[in-house]
Chains A and B, each alone.
Chain A
Amino acid sequence: MAEIRVVHYLNQFFGQIGGEEKADITPFSKEGPVGPGTALEKELGENIKIVGTVICGDTYFNENIEQATSEVMDLIAAFKPDIVVAGPAFNAGRYGMACGGVCAAVQERLKIPAVTGMYEENPGADLYKKEVYIVKTGNSAAKMREALPALGKLAKKLARGEVVGSPAEEGYLARGIRKNVFHQQRGSARAVDMLLKKLKGEPFVTEYPMPVFDRVTPRPAIKDMKKARIALVTSGGIVPKGNPDRIESSSASKFGRYDLTGVNNLDKNTYETAHGGYDPVYANEDADRVLPVDVMRQLEKEGVIGELHSVYYATVGNGTSVANAKKYAHAIGEELKQANIDGIILTST
């Protein structure tokens, strides 16, 4: 049997180039496996080789999606692969977006299969799970050892053109595809079985989960901006210098509320960012770049807005679970409701 050629896509961190300070690097390729690629190749078994690795900085990819995608495609195509594996990205948002985007483009432009792995709450999962096989992983690289065998197993099947089983069997995120199969029992009997189980309070597995539409109704616009009180909220981790509440740089366990009375400008002596996962240099130099207090004060002075709310709220949106983000936003929201504000500007890095 001819050797099956795999190209592996990695970000700057797993590609062993560097951390956040290298997140701007443009794509390039290396022969053979890099970083987790070595362990992944073992999972792929005989006759399946990682012939090359394409590495791109997460920030570069996300800020230049179209350009980066075509550059990555050219690098991948040069290896003449039979399949592409990306990541796994775990819960890294920008990396997940890149892995999903690369896999979707590989399928569409290079017409070969692609597979990636990430945590269910990664924004890349929601965006790409319908078009791309995304193997479910834990939420951090600590779960690499569990992630690689699952990713390798599905990649092997796709590379060999074998039949891929259901999401539950193979461990990938459901793609919303329905397949006709012959079942020993007809539908009515299965439905009654489920109903009986439900009545008895026993567990049962639905054959057609209803989609969850998690949307909120847009609230009406502010009619008179000149009288409006606007609040600033950020997930970009802007805190008074020294981070008094010790908000964590990743997976924040809290949010902070900070007084803006008399503050006209955030400067490097008084404010900084607590956020990990993006290069903090620019925000530490001038935190207005993430939380625009200086501009809001000017607009307030000119009468464009009525008032800037005297308190701002901040948390760190790096690796924060959706459940926690919701919890903090609810608590912040309750306070803002009491304060009778008219609108909110939420900045996210």
Chain B
Amino acid sequence: MVKELEETVNVPVVHVCTVVPISLTVGANRIDPAVAIPHLLGNPQLNQDEEFALRRKIVEKALQALSTDVTEQTVF
């Protein structure tokens, strides 16, 4: 999906995922590693504010990836 979206829309796509080796194999160009498979952008063990802050950090990294030129597959 990540490749087809980048090819079709012609804009940068960042892949937020947990199992980075899969994303690398699939061929994502910009990869943003996340927390865990069932809660990519969260952690149920944290309180609400801490969890939100954690999610914001991951999303900020995704935006940073979209704002960074890359020439090859890059894990941010």
Q: How far is the CA of A285 from the CA of B38 in the complex (A)?
A: 11
Q: How far is the CB of B62 from chain A (nearest CB, A)?
A: 5
Within 8 A of B (CB), among A330-349: 330, 332-334, 336-337, 341-349
Within 8 A of A (CB), among B9-41: 9-19, 21-23, 25-27, 29-30, 34, 36-41
Q: A63-B36, A221-B69, A283-B39 are in contact. Are A349 and B3 (CB under 8 A)?
A: no
Q: A282-B39, A282-B42, A343-B14 are in contact. Are A329 and B1 (CB under 8 A)?
A: yes
Q: Give chain A residues whose Cβ lies under 8 Å from the Cβ of B71.
A: 218
Give how many B residues have a beta carbon under 8 Å from the other chain's beta carbons.
51
Q: Give chain A residues whose Cβ lies under 8 Å from the Cβ of B41.
A: 288-290, 292, 295, 347
Cβ-based interface call for A298 (8 A):
yes
Q: How far is the CA of A220 from the CA of B27 in the complex (A)?
A: 16
The range of chain A's interface size is: 35 or more
Structural contact, B17 and A347, CB atoms closer than 8 A: yes
Structural contact, B40 and A289, CB atoms closer than 8 A: yes
Q: Give chain B residues whose Cβ lies under 8 Å from the Cβ of A126.
A: 25
Structural contact, B14 and A344, CB atoms closer than 8 A: yes
Q: How far is the CB of B23 from chain A (nearest CB, A)?
A: 7
Within 8 A of B (CB), among A299-349: 299, 304-305, 315, 317, 325-326, 328-330, 332-334, 336-337, 341-349
Interface residue from B16, B62, B72 paired with A348 (Cβ < 8 Å): B16
Cβ-based interface call for B2 (8 A):
yes
Q: Give chain A residues whose Cβ lies under 8 Å from the Cβ of B1.
A: 233, 235, 315, 317, 325-326, 328-329, 332, 346, 348
Cβ-based interface call for A225 (8 A):
yes
Structural contact, B66 and A222, CB atoms closer than 8 A: yes
Q: How far is the CB of A85 from chain B (nearest CB, A)?
A: 22
Cβ-based interface call for A192 (8 A):
no
Structural contact, A290 and B39, CB atoms closer than 8 A: yes
Q: Give chain A residues whose Cβ lies under 8 Å from the Cβ of B72.
A: 218
Cβ-based interface call for B47 (8 A):
no
List the 7 closest pairs (A to B, CB-CB), nearest first.
A333-B8, A289-B42, A329-B4, A218-B29, A329-B1, A282-B39, A343-B66
For the complex with contacts A278-B38, A304-B63, 9 further pairs of A-B residues with Cβ separation under 8 Å are A220-B69, A221-B67, A286-B42, A292-B41, A325-B4, A341-B11, A345-B62, A346-B16, A347-B40
**28 pairs of residues in contact across A and B, judged by CB atoms under 8 Å:** A63-B18, A93-B19, A97-B19, A216-B27, A218-B12, A219-B6, A223-B67, A225-B67, A288-B41, A288-B55, A290-B40, A294-B55, A298-B56, A328-B1, A330-B4, A333-B5, A336-B11, A337-B9, A343-B13, A343-B66, A344-B11, A344-B13, A345-B59, A346-B15, A347-B41, A349-B18, A349-B37, A349-B38
